[in-house]
Amino acid sequence: MRKRIFSGAQPTGELHLGNYLGALKNWVALQTEYESFYCIVNLHAITLPQDPATLRQKTLDLARIYLAAGVDPERSTIFIQSDVPEHAELAWVLNCVARMGELERMTQFKDKGKGEERASVGLFTYPVLMASDILLYQTDLVPVGQDQKQHLELTRDLAERFNRDFGETFVVPDPYIPPVGAAIMSLKEPEKKMSKSDENLNSTIFLLDDADTITKKYKKAVTDSGTEITFDGSRPAISNLLTIYHLLSGKPTKDCEAHFEGKGYGDFKSELAEVTIEFLKPFQERVREYDDDSLEAILKSGAEKASAVASETLKNVYQSMGIR
Ligand code: ATP
Ligand code: LTN
């Protein structure tokens, strides 16, 4: 049997280069080898306040993005999390397996909840819903960016604990975090990751940004002191821009450094803008190709395929726990 992949993204805003290079790109590459499930995790989105009409729209928009990026509905199962109620059901069960202490150690909760009393309980148990997403499909591999590593460790711990206490039920999944591109950083604050919720829009290149916007954002991007355009951990801003150039141009890292030897930051930024615009052009054309009806048909068939696997796993879980 082919090994399985599961991954997902939240319909909370527009996807950006970080989401693409850290995750989506690998979903597309791996779908030929693995049986793949790619989910739009709208139940995760409501851990923070969302406007209902916007959430509904963003959910469909994200499905379009998956398709335009190259996720092939003939090979991969694309579906919306809330269309498969087993995700929420298994999350309840795993909430009873997870411990307060281990969730309190999750750094994303600390970042997004900002230590506030009013942070939702859903935000606190968010990693448990994520573990449910993954474990429902008996997933072998989870392609994600670096920021999700801790959540994957929790998922593995929950699977192992459940298997130990109730008998072999879940496959224990491995993360797939790409060697380059797993943490694309903000253009304005290179010590922070590029994020769709960054208040400063100049920090983030969105996949649907037009040519002019892309050029302007790179122009405003911070650089490091010095003049060299090389990969160098002590110069995070230039290394980040060069990583983006390397991944989008497909040129080996040494060739990128050689290409920019003796050139200034201004030239580098214009070339980086050109490469980005060229790279995104066909993607942006494809996004417009999918009308709502064809999209709904893909999502309906995706939900049916996903449900068949998810219901089988949940049945086994309930059975081993004595839940009727
Ligand atoms: P954001 O902070 O942009 O809202 P997120 O992690 O909350 O990001 P998702 O859209 O759910 O949002 O993330 C989808 C995938 O993109 C995940 O696998 C995540 O690890 C990856 N990812 C997010 N930001 C980056 C980044 N800056 N660099 C590389 N990968 C990233
Ligand atoms: N938590 C992830 C999104 C996510 C996910 C998943 C990723 C929810 N469920 C299952 C991989 C597998 C995020 O915020 N990026």
Tell me the best of 44, 106, 123, 125 to mutate to test the pocket of ligand 2, counting ligand atoms within 8 Å of each CB and taking the most: 44
Q: Residues with Cβ < 8 Å from 48, sequence gap 6 or more?
A: 12, 112, 120, 123
Q: Which residues pair with 54 in a beta bridge?
A: none
Residue 53 sits in the same domain as residue 97: yes
Q: Is 263 a catalytic residue?
A: no
Q: Residue 1's pLDDT band (boundaries 50, 70, 90)?
A: confident
**Confidence (pLDDT) at 238:** 97
Residue 40 sits in the same domain as residue 126: yes
**Confidence (pLDDT) at 118:** 87
User: Is the Cβ–Cβ distance between 30 and 176 less than 8 Å?
Assistant: yes
Quick check: CB of 9 below 6 Å from ligand 1? yes
pLDDT exceeds cutoff 90 at 222 = yes
Q: Is 114 a catalytic residue?
A: no
Number of structural domains, the chain?
2
Give the pLDDT mean for 260-285.
97
Give the pLDDT mean for 234-245.
96
Atom of ligand 2 nearest to the CA of 6: 12
pLDDT of 6-23, one tens digit each? 999 999 999 999 999 999
Residue 10 sits in the same domain as residue 83: yes
209 Cα: distance to centroid of ligand 2 (angstroms): 24
Cα-based distances in Å from 94 to 147, 167, 318:
22, 15, 11
Residue 248 sits in the same domain as residue 143: no
Residue 168 sits in the same domain as residue 302: yes
Tell me the best of 133, 153, 197 to mutate to test the pocket of ligand 2, counting ligand atoms within 8 Å of each CB and taking the most: 133
Residue 36 sits in the same domain as residue 136: yes
135 Cα: distance to centroid of ligand 2 (angstroms): 12
Cα(197)–Cα(174) distance, rounded to whole angstroms? 28
pLDDT exceeds cutoff 80 at 115 = no
pLDDT of 179-206, one tens digit each? 999 999 999 999 999 999 899 999 999 9
Atom of ligand 1 nearest to the CA of 147: 20
Q: Tell me which of 149, 196, 251, 305 is the catalytic residue.
A: 196
Residue 116 lies in a domain: yes
Residue 109 sits in the same domain as residue 206: no
pLDDT of 28-67, one tens digit each? 999 999 999 999 999 999 999 999 999 999 999 999 999 9
Nearest 5°: phi and psi at 271? Answer: -65, -35
Give the pLDDT mean for 292-301.
96
pLDDT exceeds cutoff 80 at 110 = no
Residue 97 sits in the same domain as residue 217: no
pLDDT exceeds cutoff 80 at 211 = yes
Residue 140 sits in the same domain as residue 58: yes
- Token pair of 206, please? 């969105």
pLDDT of 116-134, one tens digit each? 888 999 999 999 999 999 9
Tell me which residue of 233, 215, 208, 193 sits closest to 274, measured CA to CA. 215
Residue 190 lies in a domain: no
Residue-range definition of the domain harbouring residue 48: 4-177+291-321
pLDDT exceeds cutoff 90 at 114 = no
Residue 195 lies in a domain: no
**In percent, how much of the chain has pLDDT > 70?**
100
User: Which one-letter DSSP state was computed for residue 169?
Assistant: -
User: Is the Cβ–Cβ distance between 261 and 273 less than 8 Å?
Assistant: no
One-letter identity of residue 113 = G
Cα(266)–Cα(178) distance, rounded to whole angstroms? 29
Residue 102 lies in a domain: yes
pLDDT exceeds cutoff 80 at 177 = yes
112 or 175: whose pLDDT is higher?
175
Q: Is 193 a catalytic residue?
A: yes
**Confidence (pLDDT) at 212:** 98
Residue 172 lies in a domain: yes
**Confidence (pLDDT) at 47:** 95
Question: What predicted TM-score, i.e. pTM, was given to this entire model?
Answer: 0.96
Cα(62)–Cα(49) distance, rounded to whole angstroms? 18
Backbone Cα Rg of the chain:
21
Q: Residue 173's pLDDT band (boundaries 50, 70, 90)?
A: very high
61 Cα: distance to centroid of ligand 2 (angstroms): 17
Residue 28 sits in the same domain as residue 150: yes
Residue 208 sits in the same domain as residue 163: no
pLDDT exceeds cutoff 80 at 169 = yes
**In percent, how much of the chain has pLDDT > 90?**
93
What CATH number should be reported for the domain holding residue 275? 1.10.240.10
**Confidence (pLDDT) at 109:** 82
Tell me which residue of 287, 100, 301 sits closest to 209, measured CA to CA. 287
pLDDT exceeds cutoff 80 at 296 = yes
Residue 230 sits in the same domain as residue 282: yes
Q: Residues with Cβ < 8 Å from 73, sequence gap 6 or more?
A: 67, 298, 301, 302
What CATH number should be reported for the domain holding residue 102? 3.40.50.620
Q: Which residues pair with 40 in a beta bridge?
A: 9, 80
**Confidence (pLDDT) at 107:** 87
Residue 189 lies in a domain: no
pLDDT, mean over the chain: 96
User: Is the Cβ–Cβ distance between 5 and 44 less than 8 Å?
Assistant: no
